[in-house]
Structure 1
Amino acid sequence: MSNVETKPVEQICRDEPGPEALPDAVTGVQVLTARDVPLGGPRAMTVHRTIPQRARSLIGAWCFADHYGPDDVSVTGGMVVPPHPHTGLQTVSWLFSGEIEHRDSLGTHELVRPGELNLMSSGAGICHSEVSTASTTVLHGVQLWLALPATARFGGRDFDHYVPTPVTLDGGSARVFLGGLPLVSDPNATSPVPAFSPILGAEVSIDAGALLRLDVDRGFEHGVLVDSGKVAVFDTDLATAEMGYVGTGNRTLELRNTGDRPARVMLLGGEPFGEEILMWWNFVGRSHDEIAAFRDAWQAGADQFGSVENYHGDPARLPAPALPAVRIKPRRNPPATS
């Protein structure tokens, strides 16, 4: 998905975890409230963005999280995002309802459907389009980005499609699309999709009134993004589209459904990224000058990004916004509270 803000700000992000908690300690939960961003189009579908933001930029390699819907496409027009570029990242498309047609400069033509992972790796440059299909009445899902580490960010373009099998848990279930859930014997608790950094991505459902205790890697930090229902992470209540952040050092996560209906969250985790990145528009880079070069290459139609075939919308490709007139100073993540 594109960041279609007309005046995106540069964001230089460092992931700096707080002090490790004691082996059985609970790290404080930081609540990340989403801001609303119009996705574009004449009626503008709205997405709810939790990261990056001033309070926290990264969770592991996860550097961007948009939640949207349930969205009545007859009212908003749905998703229509013309071909646009990416560098230095992977896009993760995940739906709860609806259908999106994906085309990219690898020649991939794939439908994004509920419960199916579509993972696109930009390498040094890729472009793609995303359009909700005519059969879609309600569009509902998340769009996530993973920052590529220095060892992989100039690699080749790639695309993976994976349909995870649900894993039954005590108090709920999970669809693990990246990484794995420790100490869960079911082979479906680990995704076969290769990753470039230690990572976890899963859709987790919590039964009505249930307390779900998940064993997790104590070297990971985690974000719990609420899609539906009444959810508390440990003892901290979260509203729909809010994310609860938990720092490193915990062996378990407690997810409690405080309502009388099933709840659903996205669980995002990973080792602290350890690299400073700069994000602007749809580019992840390492410096202002590098981002400016990416923008110039896209505007010039450079081969770096390739082209999307058989996209017939207007405009035929999304132009890049103007760069900001100033350079932004690095912004550090605050430590997790203990």
Structure 2
Amino acid sequence: MSNLDGRPDLAVLAPGQPCTAVEVLQPRLVPLGGPRAMTVYRTLPQRSRSLVGAWCFLDHYGPDDVSATGGMEVARHPHTGLATVSWLFTGRIDHLDSGGNAAQVRPGELNLMIAGQGITHSEISPTDADTLHGVQLWYALPEATRFGPNHFEHYRPEPVTVPGMTARVFLGDLLGSSSTVLTRTPDLLGAELMLDPGATVTLDVRADFEHAALAETGTAVVNATDLAHRCLAYVPPGSDTLTLTAGPDGARLILLGGVPLDEQIVMWWNFVGRSHEEIVEFRRRYQAEIGAEPADPDDAGKPELFGPFPPDQPPALPAPVLPTTRLRPRRQPHATENTPPEGGRP
């Protein structure tokens, strides 16, 4: 999915400030564009918390009546330096990317697209998909793998049932279930948890992980902290258990986790980089490849950064105009001294 904000804010993603208690993050409503814009509820990134492990983006949408909203119609757009994780509860989405992958996103099945140094893709819900409901997640690739080739995987996790809960672990390890998906980002967790009405479940988790739980349906309690529908509970590293309690109607939670990413990252629109220069170059190359802006003569002979796309598709989304100020990472309290220097190699 693309970030369709017309004037996207600069997001500087660095390890968050120390936290000794559960932090509740409220969602921000973002229309995805068009006269019948489908609205998503965004809980990452935001000013108070930009990362959970390497997870850097969380949109929750639906359930939406496709006949009323028009569903998801996100034409070709780029990504760099990140991976997209598509997870549906109801409906279908057709995925097409410049790596030559065409697939459907279906409920309970993971579609993972690793952008690496560059990829473009489209996501469009079929007209016969009555209801659309799911989450779109991104995680940042670390310095060691962010310039690697793009990659796509489809995975259907088997459900794991324990008293009071059924889980589907789509990335990482939980409850003895291990995803086979290769992430190119170490130490990640992603799972869908279905809690029975009023059930309390205590999970054994890695104490070196920070975790976040999205109340996807209903209300819940996370480590004794109330969590309203669509809100995200952040749990800092240090605890080796998570205790979850569902409301009277039950609850579906999306659980994310990971070792804190010790890299400061600049994310603008659909690009993840390390510097102003990288973001500017990613945008310039993409605009030139889709014919929205003139190409640089120095690009002659270079392979396409974002790759070819089938010609019979809707026009590509142009990139927004860059802000007039320099995209410079802010110095955050928890940023480390070994932040990568500015400069890139797109």
Q: 1:296 matched to which residue of 2?
A: 284
Q: 2:246 matched to which residue of 1?
A: 257
Name which of 9, 25, 31 aligns with 1:32. 25
Q: CA–CA distance in 1 between the matches of 2:15 and 2:97? A: 30
Answer whether contact 1:51 1:64 (CA < 8 A) is retained. Answer: yes
Structure 1 position 331, deviation (Å) = 5.7
Q: 2:114 matched to which residue of 1?
A: 121
Aligned residues: 320
Q: CA–CA distance in 1 between the matches of 2:334 and 2:21? A: 12
Which residue identity is paired with 1:323?
L
Answer whether contact 1:13 1:332 (CA < 8 A) is retained. Answer: no
Identity of aligned residues (%): 54
Q: Structure 1 residues 333, 227: CA separation in 2 closer, same or farther (over 3 Å shift)? A: farther
Which residue identity is paired with 1:212?
V
Write the mapping of 1:130-209 to structure 2, written as runs, cut at 5 A.
130-181=123-174, 184-185=175-176, 189-195=177-183, 196-209=185-198
Q: CA–CA distance in 1 between the matches of 2:129 and 2:331? A: 40
Q: CA–CA distance in 2 between the matches of 1:229 and 1:201? A: 19
Q: CA–CA distance in 2 between the matches of 1:29 and 1:58? A: 15
Q: 2:308 matched to which residue of 1?
A: 307
Q: CA–CA distance in 2 between the matches of 1:240 and 1:95? A: 17
Secondary structure (helix, strand or coil) at the match of 2:281 reads helix
Q: CA–CA distance in 1 between the matches of 2:194 and 2:39? A: 24
1:226-269 Cα shifts (integer Å, max 9, x gaps): 1101211122111111100000010100110121x221010000
TM-score (norm 2): 0.90
1:120-177 Cα shifts (integer Å, max 9, x gaps): 0001000000000122111000000010000000000100000000001222011000
Structure 1 position 304, deviation (Å) = 0.4
TM-score (norm 1): 0.92
Answer whether contact 1:55 1:333 (CA < 8 A) is retained. Answer: no
Matched, 1:277 2:278: no
Structure 1 position 311, deviation (Å) = 4.8
Write the mapping of 1:16-95 to structure 2, written as runs, cut at 5 A.
16=16, 18=18, 27-95=20-88
Structure 1 position 18, deviation (Å) = 2.6
CA RMSD of aligned residues (A): 1.5
1:271-302 Cα shifts (integer Å, max 9, x gaps): 00100100000000000110000000000007
Matched, 1:4 2:4: yes
Structure 1 position 17, deviation (Å) = 5.9
Structure 1 position 80, deviation (Å) = 0.2
Answer whether contact 1:14 1:333 (CA < 8 A) is retained. Answer: no
Answer whether contact 1:208 1:262 (CA < 8 A) is retained. Answer: yes
Answer whether contact 1:56 1:333 (CA < 8 A) is retained. Answer: no
Q: CA–CA distance in 2 between the matches of 1:136 and 1:333? A: 46
Which residue identity is paired with 1:201?
G
Matched, 1:223 2:212: yes
Moved over 2 A (4+): 16-19, 310-313, 331-335
Q: Structure 1 residues 138, 322: CA separation in 2 closer, same or farther (over 3 Å shift)? A: same
1:179-213 Cα shifts (integer Å, max 9, x gaps): 001xx34xxx1101112221100001111110011
Answer whether contact 1:17 1:248 (CA < 8 A) is retained. Answer: no
Q: CA–CA distance in 2 between the matches of 1:290 and 1:154? A: 12
Secondary structure (helix, strand or coil) at the match of 1:318 reads coil
Which runs of no fewer than 5 residues in structure 1 stay unpaired? Answer: 20-26
Q: CA–CA distance in 2 between the matches of 1:175 and 1:58? A: 23
Matched, 1:106 2:99: yes
Name which structure has the greater RCO, CA cutoff 8 Å, separation 6+.
1
Answer whether contact 1:178 1:200 (CA < 8 A) is retained. Answer: yes
Q: CA–CA distance in 1 between the matches of 2:284 and 2:230? A: 35
Answer whether contact 1:38 1:47 (CA < 8 A) is retained. Answer: yes
